[in-house]
Structure 1
Amino acid sequence: MKITKIETILIEEFPNICFVQVHTDEGFVGLGETYFGAEAVSAWIHDMGANVLLGKDPLTIDKHWQDLVGFVGARSTGIENRGRSALDVALWDILGQVSNQPIYQLLGGATRDKIQAYNTCAGYQYTRKRPKHASLPVDNWNTHIEEGPYEDLEGFLYRADELAESLISEGFMGMKIWPLDPFAEATKGRYISMEDLKKAIEPFEKIRKRVGDKIEIMVEMHSLWDLRTAKQIAQVLDDYRPFWYEDPIRMDNLDSLQNFARSTRFATAASETLGTRWAFREVMEKQAADVIIFDPTYTGGISEAKKIISMAEAYQLPIATHDCVGPVSFAVDVHLSINAPNALVQECVRAFYNTWYKELVTEVPVVKDGFVYPLTGPGLGTKLNPEVFTRSDVTIKESKV
């Protein structure tokens, strides 16, 4: 069997997502995905990735992973590694189709039949705009768009207590919120006044006052703060018993991350911004995080995710895969979490999987009563909907043998 064609599929409505399809001469088509810089990733896939893969056996996945490393971008979440991640996922999808097994089975089988979920409180429009995690435009905080019951970004900003009750009613064990971000934007993360800090913690106060400890709170800090200010924030938020502090500072100084982790009574989680096992090895060696979070479509695909998971297990650390991106990544996440013995919890976004995820792919992992269930079809268990290819805002680029 040989790879005969590689396609990238970009959709203007979702400008951060790059879908990849890898075609074979035996009719198998593997699906992959990555997020951020979609046009640049697409260019790399056709300029570099296609030269490595076209005409080759799709099942020699480890060899292809090494050959796709290239001269630059080997240890990062940059364009090269995200392109490699998407291609790696597509190759695993082909392997699953050829063997007629779901990916979690190929990884060694299920260690559980479902995994508990927490909800990242994004809204319906959150990924329909340009990347916002590092710089959040004002209009993303003041749109007041109501499209249904899951406008959860507005929920945590204005009625966090009601949102917590809603999530508890659906069985979620936790909720991730980021009310501190606007204050980081104002000072580049170097200062927060006590007055602003009091405003920022209002959602936490509302949640604990209304529901007590019936739901966990994950504090998303988006790597926006310097060490001093992050520690100041944590000293105040510790009173609200957060489940973890996620990416409190930039991940470019792990000694500083270790410093932060030792300064708080609660867990530090890191980091979707890191790429490959070598970056995570340093986090683990320095004991700089209590929970290893990674995105398999940033860090090197399923192949690299499996290695990171096993390494974390050796360090007695739990893992939690990153969602809040696209539907294929969510499917990959759940396959990994179902297999990994040290998986702690699965991130999901109810505003996504209940709406636009289903517009783009044929199947989405079921979230029910606070648990996520894996897709059980061969490979990923999902494909792009046929309607994707006829959208007026779709751009399809292909490389052939």
Structure 2
Amino acid sequence: MNPAPTTIGKIETFIVPPRWLFVRVEAADGAVGWGEASLEGHGEAVEGAFEAIRDRCLGEDPDRIEDHWQVCYRGGFYRGGAVLMSALSGLDQALWDLKGRRYGLPAWQMLGGKVRDRIRAYAWIGGDRPHEIADAAQGRRQQGFSAVKMNATAELDWIGTPRLFDAVIKRVEAAQAAGMDVGLDFHGRVHRPMAKQLAKVLEPLGLLFIEEPLLSENPEGLQQISELVSTPIALGERLYSRWDFKPFFEKGAVDIIQPDLSHAGGLSECRRIAAMAEAFDVAVAPHCPLGPLALGACLQLAATAPNVAIQEMSLGIHYNTDGHDLLTYCRDKSVLTPQDGFLPIPVGAGLGIEIDEELVRSFDKDRHRWRNPVWRLADGSFAEW
């Protein structure tokens, strides 16, 4: 039976550790939905963007998710970008969660039903300067993972010699020796003169993918690297809409896209991005070094998009400190606990994640001010983090 019509009565935001921003939408009939608008290092800016969202959405029908998406995306004249799209992402997730809870359905059921029951997951090992990789990889293997991702390198200058790559190769080999498939994240730290060399020397190692060998603001260079090596090229965490992804599909510059469901327009837009990728025979591996709501949204996408190949998760990642980890705010921690290297598709209503609201409100009182570090090269100039 359909519930009676209602309106959006309240939109709240919470800045909670380690570096997340949660969104709570409450309907006039008392129904509640949660989303995640985390934009690492820019939580205050995203929270400010919600002022305009409240002006446009309060008092409106929460079931009209696509209409809210269009109004919030197009209605403010200026559109796109990390801040506005992260805010919209959190709203979109929360509206799917709210609608699912009002109708008693998982979001994937409202999006057409499941194409799979579980999705392969990978976890991070090491930090920005990875060490003891073999032990870390073995630890992930004992947790049931068969795949990991690690940073390729710390800061690199614009030019150098191939001997700088030896340590990268040894770390990858150490992780593979522990029985893991490895994805390597360049993190946009490597500039074009060295990225080509590094991608080439890594090719024989048989990586799952190379992530952000160059920043996505350089599609021509990315296309060149994709034509230079057979290793799959992955990117997308700094792209925020289907229009941002469009030129990479057209140029054939990417093999795996990594939209972040808390940056790229939420579940609604990332489902469209995944469909575009499918038309170009491109795989999807959603970016998610974030919290439980972002991961819950990712699993709804994995349930419905056939080309989702693997899912990142932040369990035990080096950003999660002082007792705040992926499952901290979850009432039912089993929903996001990997099983034999896979994450099950949640069967609960909405995003399928039960949030401990009391805990969220408690930690919001002492708001984090997380910032990424600023690195410098030996000559004192700025280095990409």
* TM-score using structure 2 length: 0.86
| 1:222 partner SS | coil
What's the counterpart of residue 172 of structure 2? 204
Deviation at 1:376, TM superposition (A): 1.5
- Correspondence for 1:35 among 33, 38, 42: 38
The CA deviation at 1:394 is 4.1
Given that 2:123 and 2:148 are in contact with CA atoms closer than 8 Å, whether structure 1 keeps it comes out as yes
Q: Judging changes above 3 Å, is the alpha-carbon distance between structure 1 residues 216 and 51 closer, same or farther for their aligned structure 2 residues?
A: same
**Amino acid of the residue matched to residue 119 of structure 1?**
A
Paired residue total = 353
* Counterpart AA for 1:42: E
Aligned-partner residue type, residue 32 of structure 1: G
Query: Contact between 2:121 and 2:310, CA under 8 Å: does it hold in 1?
Result: yes
Q: Report the equivalent of 1:127.
A: none
- Once the 2 structures are TM-superposed, how far is the Cα of residue 169 of structure 1 from its aligned partner? 3.5
The answer for the alignment partner of 1:62 in structure 2 is 66
Inter-CA distance 205–122: structure 2 relative to 1 (3 Å threshold): closer
The answer as to whether partners of 2:327 and 2:336 remain within 8 angstroms in 1 is no
The 3-state SS of whatever aligns with 1:175 is: strand
1:194 equivalent in alignment to 2:199:
no
One-letter code aligned to 2:362: T
Distance 1:391 1:98, change over 3 A: same
Residues 223, 72 of structure 1: alpha-carbon distance in 2 compared, 3 angstrom cutoff: farther
Alpha-carbon separation, structure 2, partners of 1:223 and 1:319: 19
Structure 1: 5+ residue stretches without partners: 124-135, 142-156, 397-401
Matches for 1:2-401 after TM superposition, within 5 Å: 2-11=7-16, 13-14=17-18, 16-36=19-39, 37-46=42-51, 48-69=52-73, 70-71=75-76, 74-76=79-81, 78-121=82-125, 141=129, 157-180=130-153, 182-184=154-156, 187=157, 190-208=158-176, 210-211=177-178, 214-351=179-316, 356-363=325-332, 364-385=335-356, 386-391=358-363, 393-394=365-366
| Letter paired with 1:203 | R
TM-score (norm 1): 0.83
Deviation at 1:72, TM superposition (A): 5.5
Distance 2:171 2:126 in 1: 15
* Alpha-carbon offset, residue 276 of structure 1: 0.6
**Structure 1 counterpart SS, 2:204:** helix
Q: Which residue of 2 is the match for residue 145 of structure 1?
A: none
Query: Contact (CA 8 Å) 1:168, 1:215: kept in 2 or not?
Result: yes
Unaligned runs of at least 5 residues, structure 2: 1-5, 369-385
SS in 1 for 2:117: coil
State, as a whole percentage, how many aligned pairs show the same letter. Answer: 29
Tell me the alpha carbon deviations over residues 332-377 of structure 1, each in whole angstroms, 9 at most, x when there is no partner: 1111112211111111233159962222232342311111012211
The Cα RMSD (Å) is 2.1
For 1:140-184, what per-residue CA distance to the aligned partner results, in whole angstroms no more than 9, with x for missing partners? x5xxxxxxxxxxxxxxx222223333333333231100041x232
Q: What is the rounded CA distance, in whole Å, between the counterparts of 1:192 and 1:90 in structure 2? A: 47
Alpha-carbon shift at residue 235 of structure 1 (Å): 1.3
Counterpart amino acid of residue 389 in structure 1: R
CA distance in 2, matches of 1:205, 1:395: 40
Specify the SS of the correspondent of 1:368: coil
Q: Secondary structure at the match of 2:336?
A: coil
Counterparts of 2:301 and 2:93, CA distance in 1: 12
Q: Cα distance, 1:99 vs. partner?
A: 1.5
Letter in 1 for 2:194: T
Cα distance in 2 for residues equivalent to 1:272 and 1:122: 20
Give the whole-Å Cα distance in 2 for the aligned partners of 1:216 and 1:41. Answer: 35
Cα offsets for 1:20-65 (capped at 9, x unmatched): 111111111111112221111111102x110110100011111111
Q: Which amino acid aligns with 1:227?
A: R
Alpha-carbon distance in 2 for matches of 1:85, 1:379: 15
Alpha-carbon distance in structure 1 between the residues aligned to 2:159 and 2:144: 37
